[in-house]
Amino acid sequence: MKDVESLWDLFQKRNVSRRNFLKTCVTITGILGLSPSLISDVVSAAEKQPLVPVIWLHGHECTGCDEAFIRSQSPFASDVLLNMISMEYMDVLAAAAGEPLEHHLQEVMKKYNGKYLLAVEGAVPLNDDGIHCMVGGKTFVHNLKEVAKGAAAIIEVGSCAAWGGIQAAKPNPTKSVSVSDVVSGKTIIKVPGCPPIPEVITGVIMHYTLYGQIPPLDSKGRPKQFFGNRIHDTCYRRPFFDSGMFVEKFDDAASKAGWCLYKVGCRGPETYNSCGNLRWWNGLSYPIQSGAPCIGCSANNFWDNDPFYNRMPNIPVPNTIVNADQVGIVAAGALTAGVIIHGALSTIQHKKHHKETHDTEKDNE
Amino acid sequence: MKVRTVAVYYVFTIWTRIFHWLMVGAIAVLFCTGLYIGNPFYIGSQGVEPTFAVNNWASMSTIRFIHFAAAYILMASFIFRIYGFILHRGDRMLPKPWTKLFWTGMLDMGLHYSFLRSEHRPYLRNSMARAGYGGVYGMIFLEAFTGFAMYGQINPNSWLSKLFGPINHLLLDEYVVHIIHHYVAWMIILFVIIHVYMATRADMSEKYGEISAMFSGVKFYDKEPDDVGDLKE
């Protein structure tokens, strides 16, 4: 896009009706988690606010977040949201490649200095001077710092950018870290998830585009409207949890009846995401709805919280598989036996000592 | 009959004693309900819709409510403890690792408990007990902080969440908070086993009135305890 224009300009250029424009604004209001009374604000912003140029960098990752992003398909909004951003650089979707594209990046950075939104996907490997992830012959950490300098705000797309992701899981051979670990002094929005919900990615960009400012964030830097609640607290299977009705095994009757997956390792009670209310693929489903426990993919360090299908992690005891409760029962039992033995020995010693002192007292008399 | 002459030491105020027994009850309830919450099972007749099963006398919802209520009682009972702490020196027998007595007392008790010394010096509260109680208060506070960190997140915009929510981030993520809460609960139970044994042992062999002191507030000594300075000016 040559000139930075508004969403309404774009609609007019494509001969889409005002009616459709307003419908889109209503959809956007809903997706952004805004109150219906703010529709008029959204409409006026969509009329006036210029589209924000976006630079999208890829680091140490699998491009799964792109796969999610391009499937953003909330009714009517999908295509719009994609077209709404003035996407200036994204190596996996760009028609150009190689030097011309890298050259374009330099130009965009200069042209929109201090104005562009930087979306980063992937972790930043630091080991061995960052050579574990190279783009255009330079290390990713170098590119990131360079592009971040002129960014108005940075969005960490996906768990890798937000926390380090699978690369940062133990033993983290490349010493991968999150974007916020290497970039400082910038407004950073975390949009974790492996991948994040497509509508959440577009929704956050959308919010910035419309309001020219970042959405309200929680203390961890995640947008409140999407990461405000635990999946557990928005889960449609919550009544089964509250009633104590649990799936014990993946092939039991309870699992067919759709009871709560808490005991087969569901991380819903610890995970903040919109899966419970937005769901995936146009509200089609989400892991818990399809009978698979949440693995907590938007939580920090979730890869190390294995095994995923157990409520509690195992405690490393050689030649056996035990959890905290089993260890606790054995420890409490052993300790009880220990104090009984100690008590018996104490009694013996006490009696002996008592007799001795008694004897010496007698001798003294 | 041999007559034993003892001096009476008023150690615990009524406030600390009330706190102690409230704490015992609350921790017992918290531990039992906590075990259920960590590894629940269905209690009640089968074939009931969750809409109705939630009203069962022992549904997950009810047991969680009992857990949270007991937690609030434990927290509220600390008001008694603090009041006693301010009021009376005997309620302030903290571990004092900066004193020589703390370390000689620790050695004394260590040798006594490992059967190498048949008798130990008289103490109002020996160094090992002081360290142990310091430790268990630490564990209770850790449970309280991690507990409120998880509980507060039911409403992420509440003041409770603003106060304790950052703990979830401090400890990597909320899953780790669950695990710490669970492990420390077990450690408190291990403490209880040792505590009950040690108190019973002292009560039976030393005749200072160790157990009854937590009801009456007084202890009886034939010799002046080494740490009497903590009680009197």
For residue A209, what is the domain's CATH number? 3.40.50.700
Please give the residue range of the domain that contains residue A334. 326-364
Asked if residue A142 belongs to a domain, the reply is yes
Q: Is residue A1 part of a domain?
A: no
- What is the arithmetic mean of pLDDT over B127-136? 94
SS3 A236: coil
**Structural domain spans, chain B:** 7-230
Q: How far apart are CA A138 and CA B29, in angstroms?
A: 60
Q: How far apart are CA B99 and CA B104, in angstroms?
A: 9
Q: What is the mean pLDDT of residues B194-210?
A: 91
- The beta-carbon neighbor of B156 closest among A218, A271, A328 is A218
Residue A348 distance to chain B (closest CA, Å): 10
- The answer to whether the Cβ–Cβ distance between A243 and B56 falls below 8 Å is yes
Of the residues A195, A227, A259, the one at which a domain ends: A227
Q: Which residues, in sequence order, are bridge partners of residue A60?
A: A123
Task: Spell out the per-residue pLDDT of chain A, length 365, in tens.
Answer: 445 578 888 888 888 899 988 988 888 888 777 888 988 988 888 888 877 888 999 999 999 988 888 777 654 444 545 566 777 888 888 888 888 999 999 999 999 998 899 999 999 999 999 999 998 889 999 999 999 999 999 999 999 999 999 999 989 999 999 999 999 889 999 999 999 988 888 888 878 877 878 899 988 899 988 998 899 999 999 999 998 899 999 999 899 999 999 999 999 999 999 999 888 887 889 999 999 999 999 999 899 988 899 988 888 888 888 888 889 999 999 999 999 999 999 988 888 887 877 776 666 65
Judged against a pLDDT cut of 90, whether residue B173 lies above it is answered with no
Which range among A44-53, B101-110, B195-204 shows the weakest confidence by mean pLDDT? A44-53
Percentage of residues in chain B having pLDDT higher than 70: 98
Q: Which residues of A touch B35 (CB under 8 A)?
A: 325
Q: What is the pLDDT of residues B65-101, one digit of tens each?
A: 999 999 999 999 999 999 999 999 888 888 999 999 9
- What per-residue confidence (pLDDT) applies to A3? 56
Q: Are B11 and B205 in contact (CB under 8 A)?
A: no
- Arithmetic mean of pLDDT over chain B: 90
User: CB A332 to CB B165 under 8 A?
Assistant: no
Answer with the one of A286, A311, A336 that is the final residue of a domain.
A311
Structural domain includes residue A82: yes
Asked if B173 and A242 come within 8 Å (Cβ–Cβ), the reply is no
Nearest CA in chain B to A339: B197
Contact B61 A242 (CB under 8 A): yes
- A351: nearest CA in chain B? B205
Same domain membership, residue A266 and residue A142: no
Which of A245, A259, A323, A330 is the mutation pick for testing B, counting most B CBs within 10 A?
A: A245
A25 is in an annotated binding site: no
Q: How many CB atoms lie within 10 A of CB A31?
A: 22
Q: Given a cut of 90, is residue B118 above it in pLDDT?
A: no
In chain A, residues with a C-beta closer than 8 Å to the C-beta of B169 are: 219-220, 300
Instruction: Say if residue A115 is in the same domain as residue A220.
Output: yes
Q: Quote the CATH superfamily of domain B7-230.
A: Transmembrane di-heme cytochromes, Chain C (1.20.950.20)
The answer to whether A232 is annotated as binding is yes
Is A357 a domain residue? Answer: yes
Contacts across the A-B interface (CB distance below 8 Å): 124
Rounded Cα distance, A29 and A327, in Å: 51
DSSP state, residue A61: S
Backbone angles phi, psi at A125, to 5 degrees: -80, 135
* Residue pair A65/A121 in contact by the 8 Å Cβ criterion: yes
Q: Is the same domain home to A98 and A108? A: yes
Is the pLDDT score of B27 beyond 90?
A: yes
For residue A261, the chain B residue with the least C-alpha distance is B40
* Minimal-distance CA residue of chain A relative to B56: A243
Binding site annotation covers A133? no
- Which residue in chain A is spatially nearest to B155 when comparing CA positions? A229
Neighbouring C-beta atoms of residue A223, cutoff 10 Å: 24
A41 with A185, same domain: the answer is yes
* Domain endpoint, select from A182, A198, A227: A227
Nearest-by-Cβ selection for B173 from A228, A301, A331: A301
Residue B198 confidence (pLDDT) above 80: yes
